Structure 1
Amino acid sequence: MIKIGGINIPEYLAPGVYIEEFEIGAKPIEGVSTSTAGFVGFAERGPLNRPTLVTSVAEYQNTFGGYLPEDKEYDSVRWLPYAVEGFFSNGGKRAYIVRVAVKDSENEDSNAKAASGFVPDISGVTTLLTEETKAGSFVLKADNITGLEHGDVLFLRDGAFSEYIQLRFAGTAKVLTLNAPLANGTYAEGTEITKPVPGPTDPADPDAYEVQEKLEAGDTEIVLDDVSGLIVGDAVLLDKNENAEICILSAVNDTQKSITVTSTLKLKHDKGAEIQKLSIPEVDPVTAATLMELKAGDLIIPVAQGATEFDVNSALKIGDEYFLIKAVETGNLLLSEEKLKYQHKMNAEIKQLVRALNVSASSEGKWGNRIKVMSNLSSLSEASLTEPASNKDTLTLSTVNGMEKGTLLKIEPKDKAPIYETVKEVIKTGNSKKVVLENVINENLDTGTRASTVEFDLKIRFDGSEEIFKSLSMNSNHSRYITRIISEESSRLIRIKDVSSTQDPAKKIPMPAQDTEPGWLLAGGTDGIPEDEGKINETYAGKDDLIPENRTGLHTLKNKEDISIAAVPGITTQAIQDKIIAQCEEAKDRFAVLDPKMGSDLDEIQGQRNLYDSKYASLYYPWIQAYDPVSKKQVNVPPSGHICGIYARSDIERGVHKAPANEKINGALDLEKIGSAARIITKGQQEVLNPKGINCIIPFPGRGIRVWGARTISSDSLWKYINVRRLFIFIEKSIENGTQWVVFEPNNEKLWARVNATITQFLTGVWRDGALMGTKPEEAFFVKCDRTTMTQDDIDNGRLICVIGIAPVKPAEFVIFRIAQWAGGSAATE
C-alpha cells in the first residue's frame, strides 16, 4: 500500500486501467421526521405494552378495535380511539399505539385477561336426557353417567338451543333443592346435614304458637299468643307447606309477647298461622353427607340416594343455617355450575367434551368473548385400492396425491365399519403408488375399496369477519399440522395449542359443529380497566426495564426513536403528565401535547398550568366536541389527538419551523359543552391565558374552530414558542443521525473541515426552507469546528467539539398595523 496525494491506494504492478472510489467533501445530512406521534391509552383489543405502528384509522381499528362504550367503567379511559381518529383526520400519517391495561393487580378479577376456550375431539362420552329439563334448572337426569365427573364440560346438543354445561357433580344420588341459597362460606364434600323436626324441646313448652296479626313480606316483628320456651337464636318454622319459611329469632319480648326475626319475611302470612320451634332430636337424628363441595350461593345439595327422609317441605340444617327443601330429584344426575339457559326435551343428546385444542383470543379483553370457533371435516384426496390387501400395512392406491407422512386415512371395506390408520410413508415410483401405514390392517380389502384422507377446516368468526384455515391435521408429522398453520402471523384473532390426550387417531378429530349450534365460544375475557385514579396512574406510567421488551406503559415509547410527538389522550393526572414531560426532556427528541382536565374553568386550567415548567410540552384548552359512533351523538373529547395531527399537517405542508397555530381543527363540531352551553373563550380571557402558555381553541365565524396559540409551558422566554423548540429538536436529531460517520475518524483539521462543510450544507438547506432568519446564510447560522472550539486536552481525550449557532424564525403572534390620518401628498397645479 502506498499513499499518493493523501489517498491510500494499492501498488500498481501490472499495466492496465484502474478505477477507484474515494470520499471527499461534505456528507449529506438527511432531515429526520417530525410528524410521527406516539399515543398511550386503552383499546378494545390489540397487543399490550408494545408500540405498534398504524398509518390510518382503518389500520388502527383492524388491530386495536373500535370505540369504547360510554359508561361508568370506561368513562375516564375511553379516549384513545377518538384521539387516533382526530390525528389522522387532521393530517397525521404515522402513529405508534401503546395499549395499556391493568395486568399485575393483587385483585385477579381486575386484571386484563384473554378470552379462552377449546375445541373438543370426538372421543367423549355420549348420553341422553331421560326427562324434560326446564330453563333455570341446575339438575339434569341422564340415561348413563359412566365416565363423567366433576370439572367436565358437556355440550347439550339441541339445535339453536344448544348450550354448554360445566359439570359440578355426576352420580346416582338424591338432589335437594333449597328454598334459599347458602349464605355462609364453603362446606367440604362429606359435610353432614341434619333434619330438624318441629316441636318443643321441653314437654312443658307449647307444641305450637299462633300468630296474632296478619304478616306482610318485609316484616321482622311477629306478635304471638305465647312466647314461653322461645329464646334468641332459636330456629322456628312459620306456617306450613308451600307458604312455609324458617326464621331465626334475634329478640324475644315477654311483655308484648312478640318475637323479632333476623331477616325480613319473604311471604305473607294470615292471622292464626302456626309457628313451631325446630330442634335436632338427641336420639337417632336423621343425617346425610353431602356428595360435593358446597359454597355460598348454592341452592342444591346432592346426597346419597338412600336418604329417603329428606323430602319436599321438610327442614334441613347445614352448619348454622336452616332451610326448607323445595324439590327432590333422584336417579343418574348431572349438576351444572350455572343455570340452564334453555328448556330441553327428553332424549336431547349430551356430549362430553374432551379437549383437543386450547384456543385463546390473540389479545386480552372482553372483545374475545365474541369469538366463535367452528370445525368441519374435510378431505384432501380420495383414492381406491388397485390391488387387494389382506392383513397388510401397505396399500396400493389409484392416487397418493394429498397424502404424506402423518395423513389420517379412512378406509371403507364393503358392509363394514370404516377403518382409520395413519400413513407412515408414501411410495411413488413409476406407475406404483403405495402408502405404508403405521399398523397392519387385519382385514381382507378388495380391489376398489375406497380410501380417503381425513382433515378438518377451522372457521373463526368475529363481528361479521371470518378467518378460515383449511385441510388441517392433528398429527405433528403432517405439513398442515394445526399449530404450524395457525400462528401469530396467520391469524389476527386467535392463538391455538394442541392439548389432545386422545391416543386413537380416529377419535382425535375435532368435533364438527353445525351452524345452528353456538360453535365453540370463547369466554372469560376482561379489559383490565382501572377502578380509581391511583390505578390509572400506575397502569399508564408502567415500569421501566433495561430490556425494552419488558417495559410497560409510557416507558414503551422509549423503544421507538422515530416518535417526535407524544400524548396520553384524556389522562390529565399530574402524575402521568409529569412522566410524559420527563420522558420528553430526557430523550430531547420529542414533544408532549397535554390535555386539560375535562370541564376545567379558567381558574382550574391556570392551576393545572402552574404545575409544570417545560420547554418540551404544550397545553391546550378546552376540550372539543366530536361525533361519537357508539352513542350516535356529539360528545366531549380531549383535543390532544387532533392537535398532534395538526402538528404533523403543518410540518408536512410548511415545515417544522411553522408555528402549528391558526389551523382549523378537522372533526371538531363545537367546543366542550358543560350542560347545554359550549365553553367559548373571549379575547379578554385569552389575554390572561396566552401569556401563561395555555393555547386556546377558539371558533371563528366563517373560519371554523381553530388553534389560537403556539406556546410551550416554559418560563424561559427563549423557548416560549412551540415551533422554535421543535425546530431545534429537528436540527439536533438530524445532525446527530447524519454525523455518526465521524466517530473514530482521525481527529484533525481535515475532519474538522469536513464536519464544518457537512453541517453548513445541511443548515443552508434549512435556511432556504425559511426556517432561519437572515437574507443570507451568514446571517442565519454559524458553524465553528477548529482550534478555537477545542483545546489540546479535548483532542488528546478524543473530543471533537463543534459550536453551532442558529437564528430561528419566531411566529408573528401579534400582528400590529399602525394607521394614522394623512392630509395628502400632492398640491393642486395648473
Structure 2
Amino acid sequence: MPVQFAAPGVYIQEIPSGVRTISSVATSVAAFLGAAPRGPVNKAVRIHSFADFERNFGGLSADSEMSYGVRQFFGNGGADAWIVRVVKDASPASRTLLSSTAANVLTVTALDAGVSGNDIQLRVDYTTALPDSTFNLSVIRSSDGRAEQYANVSMNSADARYLPDLVNGVSQLVKVSRDVPQATLDGLPAGTSTSGAIADVATVIDATHTDFRVVVNGLPSVTVSITLPADIAGGTAIQRLTTLAAAIQAKVRAQAAGKPALLNFTCTRTGSTLVLGSGSGGEFSSVRVLAGARNNAAGVLKLGAAAGGIEADAVAAIRPARLPDPATLTSGAFAANDLDALPDATHSSLRISLDGYGPDLVDIGVAPAAGANLGAKMADVAARLQAAVRALKPGNPAYRDFVASVQGSILVLASGSRGAGSAIAVSAAASNDIATGLHLLTGAVLSPPPTDAFLGGGSETPYAAADIYPAFIGSRSKREGLYALEDVDLFNLLVMPGITDSGVLTDAASYCQERRAFFIIDAPPSATDVATMVQSASGTDLPKSDHAAVYFPWTHVADPLKNGKPRLTPPSGTIAGLYARTDGSRGVWKAPAGTDANLSGVQSLALTLTDGENGSLNPLGVNCLRTFPVYGAVCWGARTLRGADQMSSEYKYVPVRRLALYIEESLYRGTQWVVFEPNDEPLWAQIRLNIGAFMNGLFRQGAFQGSSPRDAYLVKCDRETTTQDDINRGVVNILVGFAPLKPAEFVVISIQQLAGQIQV
C-alpha cells in the first residue's frame, strides 16, 4: 500500500517484481488399479515403496497381477504411486462383543472390506488402572502381526478415554461402534466407590488423616473433612464406621449446590466397608475418591483404586466381557433336592486342574448349602468353591480369576485365563468326594476356548471376465473404480496390469485425456504371436488415443511366492517404472526406449521377436520389447496408439505427447494467479515473463529443438492474442508453442566405396 508521508525522513517501500515462478510438476506419478489381498476398496492410497504396498495392501498375491506390477514399477525406478483396490463385491468382517450379561455392547468392524478382515483378532482384558470400570482392547492382524492396543478405555462417551473416539479415524485396522440404546444408558445404576475392609476407623483416623476429595459424575471435586471425634463416635467398630458413613454423606450433600448427583449422594456401610454412591444413575454416573490436599485420609480408609478400593462406574455394566473366552466346565443339571444334604462331613472335596497345573485338592467345607431354594443353595456352593480355588494359587491368573457361577440348574466353572492355553479339568477326590454330587463328572460338558476371538463374515467376490467393466469403470458420482482417482490431485501414468477389455481401455484412455495423464496398456494375453497382435492393433481392441501406448509381448519375472520360478506377467508395471527412471535421468522429453531402457527384473520375454516381426508391428503403433545380446531385455518402441504411420499424428511419439502434457499441467498450475487480475498490458507482460522463464529453463535442459530460444519456443500474449472482445468477456489468451525433439527411430548409415585416384 502507498507510504503515508508525515514527518520528514527516508521512507522505504518494496515494489513487486511481477516474477511468479512456475514450478515443474511431477512427470511419473503412477496410478495402479487392480486386485489386492487386502486394503480399502475404491479408495486411492498413496505409496512410495513396495514396502508401503505390503503394509497397506498385503504384498504379492498369485491372484493379483497388480501386486507384481507395483513390485516391478518400484524395481525399475518408480518412486511415487497411487493404488486403487478393485473387487466386484466386498463386505467387511465384524464381531459384536457382548457384556458379562450377554448383551450386545460393541461392534468392531474391519476397515478393509473382504476376507482379509477375518484375520483380525480381538483381546479384551481388565488389567487397567480402574479394573472395575475400564478395559483394554487389543487388535491384532495375524497375517502380518500388526497390532494396536487401546488401554484404560471407557464406554462413557464423556470420558477422555471413550473407546470410539480413540479408535475411529485413528486405527489402521478397525472401527468401532457402541451398540447400547439410549434407554439402556439412562437406566444404568449409579456409579459407586467401595473401600477395602476397614478394621476400625478409630485406629486409622487421627488429626493427620482427616481429608479426602470426592468427584461425582465428573463434577468438580468436593472436599470431605472428618470432624474428630464426632464423626467416628460409637461404642463398637461397626457403630463408628456407620457414624462415619453418615457424616461423609452429609458433608457431600451440603456442598451439592443444587446438583442432583451430589444432592442425592449416598454413603453407607456394608460389612466393614464404606460404599459411596452417586446421587444419579445413567451413562455418566461415577464416583472417584482422590487424596486430600492435606491430612490425606483416602489411603487409610482404603478409598479409591490407588488405595485398594473398588470404583465401579455405571458403564462398567456395558463393558465388553473379557476375550478370548476361557475354558469352561458345565455340570449336569441339578434336581430340586440335590443340595438338601450337601456338603457334609463325607462330601466336601474335589480335585481341580487349571491350565495344566495340579490337580489340586479343593475343600469347600462341611456346612450344608445355605438357602431357601435350589438356586440359592447352588449360589452358596458356587461362591464357596470359587473362594477355595482362588486361595490355592493367588499368583496364578488361572486360579486367581477362577469363576464358579450358576446358570439355571447347572453349575459353570471357568478358568481364570483365556485363549488357546486355557484349560480346566475336575476329578474325584480320594476321600470325601463331592465332585459326583455336584454333577461335575457324569454329564459334565467341557467347552474348550476358541483359539482367539477373530472378526468374521468378511467376504469378497473377485471380478471375473464379465465383471471387469463394471468393476473398473464404476460410478463417477460414487467415485468407484477408475473414478476413485477423482480424489487424487495429480497422476501422470495410468496402469491396469493385465486388464485388456476394450470397453475399459477406451474409457480409461478418455479419462487420461481429461486428466492430462498417459495410459500404459498391456497387449492382450491372447496375443501370443505376431499375427494375433497385428490383428488386435489393426482392429478395435485398442483405443486409438495419443494419450496411450501398448507394449508387446508379456514378460517373465521371478516369482518370490514360488521360490523364484518364472511367472508370466503383463509388462505395464515394468514400463511405468522405466518411464520414471528415464524421466529422472534424462527428462520427460527422452523416449523411454533404446539400449539404455533395460527392463530390470525381467528374466525373459514371452516371445522373442525378430527385426522383421518388429518391423510389422512398429508401423501400427505397437511398442515391442526385445532381447539383445549383452543388453538383455529392453524396450524397443516409443509410439502412442496414434503412432501408426497411416494416421500421421503430430503426437506420434510417446515423449512428444508426455512433454506436451507436462508443459500443460505445469502452466495450468503455475498461472492460477492470473485469474481476476486486471486484463491489460501489465498482466500480459508478467505472463510473458513468467512463462518465458519456464520455457527457457526447459530449453536450457535440452527439451526442445533449435540452437536458440527463438527456434525452440514461443510465448505470445498481447493485443493480437487477446482482442477487446476477449477482454470484455473476461478472457486472456496465451499462445505457447514449442519445437519438440523427435526420437531417432531409424538411423541411416550410408556407406560408399572410394575409387582410387587416377593420375591424368
Scaled by the length of structure 2, what TM-score is found?
0.62
Instruction: Find the counterpart in structure 2 of residue 209 from structure 1.
Output: none
Instruction: Find the counterpart in structure 2 of residue 481 from structure 1.
Output: 162
The one-letter code matched in structure 1 to 2:522 is: D
Task: Note if contact 1:119-1:520 (Cα within 8 Å) is conserved in structure 2.
Answer: no
1:44 maps to which of 12, 37, 40: 37
Please state if 1:669 is matched with 2:603.
yes
Deviations 1:33-67 (A, max 9, x none): 11111111111221221211111111111111123
Question: 1:617 and 1:459, CA in 2 relative to 1: closer, same or farther beyond 3 A?
Answer: closer
The one-letter code matched in structure 2 to 1:735 is: L
Deviations 1:104-131 (A, max 9, x none): xxxxxxx31111113332224xxxxxxx
Distance (Å, rounded) in 1 between the aligned partners of 2:551 and 2:77: 18
Give the alignment of 1:580-659 within 5 angstroms: 580-587=508-515, 589-600=516-527, 601-610=529-538, 611=540, 612-632=543-563, 633-659=565-591
Distance (Å, rounded) in 2 between the aligned partners of 1:87 and 1:553: 21
Question: 1:755 and 1:557, CA in 2 relative to 1: closer, same or farther beyond 3 A?
Answer: same
Distance (Å, rounded) in 2 between the aligned partners of 1:776 and 1:485: 62
The one-letter code matched in structure 1 to 2:38 is: R
Distance (Å, rounded) in 2 between the aligned partners of 1:525 and 1:79: 22
Task: Note if contact 1:659-1:722 (Cα within 8 Å) is conserved in structure 2.
Answer: yes
Please state if 1:705 is matched with 2:633.
yes
Instruction: Find the counterpart in structure 2 of residue 469 from structure 1.
Output: 150
1:508 maps to which of 318, 326, 336: 318
Distance (Å, rounded) in 1 between the aligned partners of 2:569 and 2:86: 19
The one-letter code matched in structure 2 to 1:521 is: F
Distance (Å, rounded) in 2 between the aligned partners of 1:720 and 1:454: 68
Question: 1:825 and 1:525, CA in 2 relative to 1: closer, same or farther beyond 3 A?
Answer: farther
Distance (Å, rounded) in 2 between the aligned partners of 1:650 and 1:464: 35
Question: 1:482 and 1:561, CA in 2 relative to 1: closer, same or farther beyond 3 A?
Answer: closer
Task: Note if contact 2:122-2:323 (Cα within 8 Å) is conserved in structure 1.
Answer: no
Give the alignment of 1:381-396 within 5 angstroms: none
% identical aligned pairs: 36
2:485 maps to which of 526, 538, 557: 557
Distance (Å, rounded) in 1 between the aligned partners of 2:664 and 2:513: 14
Deviations 1:548-573 (A, max 9, x none): xx311112223323111112111100
The one-letter code matched in structure 2 to 1:697 is: L
SS in structure 2 opposite 1:669? strand
How big is the shift at 1:409? 6.6
Task: Note if contact 2:94-2:110 (Cα within 8 Å) is conserved in structure 1.
Answer: yes
The one-letter code matched in structure 1 to 2:612 is: G
Please state if 1:496 is matched with 2:176.
yes
Distance (Å, rounded) in 1 between the aligned partners of 2:583 and 2:534: 29
SS in structure 2 opposite 1:821? coil
Distance (Å, rounded) in 1 between the aligned partners of 2:532 and 2:111: 42
2:12 maps to which of 19, 38, 42: 19
Instruction: Find the counterpart in structure 2 of residue 786 from structure 1.
Output: 718
How big is the shift at 1:464? 4.2
How big is the shift at 1:665? 1.0
Task: Note if contact 1:86-1:642 (Cα within 8 Å) is conserved in structure 2.
Answer: yes
Deviations 1:497-517 (A, max 9, x none): 222578575553422432314
Instruction: Find the counterpart in structure 1 of residue 728 from structure 2.
Output: 796
Distance (Å, rounded) in 2 between the aligned partners of 1:534 and 1:15: 84
Instruction: Find the counterpart in structure 2 of residue 450 from structure 1.
Output: none
SS in structure 2 opposite 1:378? coil
How big is the shift at 1:814? 1.4
Structure with the higher strand share, 1 or 2: 1
Distance (Å, rounded) in 2 between the aligned partners of 1:92 and 1:826: 62
SS in structure 2 opposite 1:22? coil
How big is the shift at 1:618? 0.3
Give the alignment of 1:109-258 within 5 angstroms: 111-124=89-102
Q: Which residues of structure 2 form unaligned runs of 5+?
A: 190-314, 325-417, 421-449
Question: 1:16 and 1:609, CA in 2 relative to 1: closer, same or farther beyond 3 A?
Answer: farther
* Range moving further from structure 2, 496-505 or 797-806: 496-505
The one-letter code matched in structure 1 to 2:635 is: V
SS in structure 2 opposite 1:643? helix
Question: 1:791 and 1:35, CA in 2 relative to 1: closer, same or farther beyond 3 A?
Answer: same
Instruction: Find the counterpart in structure 2 of residue 443 from structure 1.
Output: none
Distance (Å, rounded) in 2 between the aligned partners of 1:47 and 1:826: 82
Instruction: Find the counterpart in structure 2 of residue 743 from structure 1.
Output: 675
Task: Note if contact 1:661-1:709 (Cα within 8 Å) is conserved in structure 2.
Answer: yes
Q: Which residues of structure 1 form unaligned runs of 5+?
A: 1-7, 103-110, 125-353, 381-407, 411-452, 673-678
Question: 1:500 and 1:821, CA in 2 relative to 1: closer, same or farther beyond 3 A?
Answer: same
Give the alignment of 1:51-66 within 5 angstroms: 51-66=44-59
The one-letter code matched in structure 1 to 2:169 is: E
How big is the shift at 1:641? 1.0
Q: Tell me how large the CA RMSD over aligned residues is.
A: 2.2
Distance (Å, rounded) in 2 between the aligned partners of 1:799 and 1:609: 42
Distance (Å, rounded) in 1 between the aligned partners of 2:681 and 2:502: 50
Deviations 1:320-355 (A, max 9, x none): xxxxxxxxxxxxxxxxxxxxxxxxxxxxxxxxxx43
Task: Note if contact 1:378-1:457 (Cα within 8 Å) is conserved in structure 2.
Answer: no
Please state if 1:93 is matched with 2:79.
yes
Task: Note if contact 1:377-1:457 (Cα within 8 Å) is conserved in structure 2.
Answer: no
Give the alignment of 1:743-782 within 5 angstroms: 743-782=675-714
SS in structure 2 opposite 1:34? coil
SS in structure 1 opposite 2:656? helix
Please state if 1:366 is matched with 2:115.
yes
Distance (Å, rounded) in 1 between the aligned partners of 2:14 and 2:480: 48
How big is the shift at 1:794? 2.1
Distance (Å, rounded) in 2 between the aligned partners of 1:21 and 1:604: 68
Distance (Å, rounded) in 2 between the aligned partners of 1:824 and 1:84: 61
* Range moving further from structure 2, 778-787 or 624-633: 624-633
Instruction: Find the counterpart in structure 2 of residue 344 from structure 1.
Output: none
Question: 1:508 and 1:746, CA in 2 relative to 1: closer, same or farther beyond 3 A?
Answer: closer
Question: 1:22 and 1:608, CA in 2 relative to 1: closer, same or farther beyond 3 A?
Answer: farther
Distance (Å, rounded) in 2 between the aligned partners of 1:825 and 1:793: 72
SS in structure 2 opposite 1:114? strand
Task: Note if contact 2:31-2:82 (Cα within 8 Å) is conserved in structure 1.
Answer: yes
Instruction: Find the counterpart in structure 2 of residue 268 from structure 1.
Output: none
Instruction: Find the counterpart in structure 1 of residue 621 from structure 2.
Output: 693
Total equivalences in the alignment = 494
Question: 1:824 and 1:792, CA in 2 relative to 1: closer, same or farther beyond 3 A?
Answer: farther
How big is the shift at 1:16? 3.9
Give the alignment of 1:195-594 within 5 angstroms: 354-380=103-129, 410=132, 454-465=134-145, 466-489=147-170, 491-500=171-180, 503=188, 505-509=315-319, 510-513=321-324, 514-516=418-420, 517-531=450-464, 533-545=465-477, 550-587=478-515, 589-594=516-521
Distance (Å, rounded) in 1 between the aligned partners of 2:724 and 2:316: 83
How big is the shift at 1:799? 2.1
SS in structure 1 opposite 2:619? helix
Instruction: Find the counterpart in structure 2 of residue 269 from structure 1.
Output: none
Structure 1 segments, 4+ long, off by >4 Å, are 500-507, 823-827
Task: Note if contact 2:557-2:601 (Cα within 8 Å) is conserved in structure 1.
Answer: yes
Deviations 1:242-286 (A, max 9, x none): xxxxxxxxxxxxxxxxxxxxxxxxxxxxxxxxxxxxxxxxxxxxx
Distance (Å, rounded) in 2 between the aligned partners of 1:456 and 1:719: 62
Bigger relative contact order, structure 1 or 2 (CA pairs below 8 A, ≥6 apart):
1
Please state if 1:809 is matched with 2:720.
no
Instruction: Find the counterpart in structure 1 of residue 193 from structure 2.
Output: none
SS in structure 2 opposite 1:527? strand
SS in structure 1 opposite 2:635? strand
SS in structure 2 opposite 1:583? helix
How big is the shift at 1:616? 0.7
Question: 1:27 and 1:825, CA in 2 relative to 1: closer, same or farther beyond 3 A?
Answer: farther
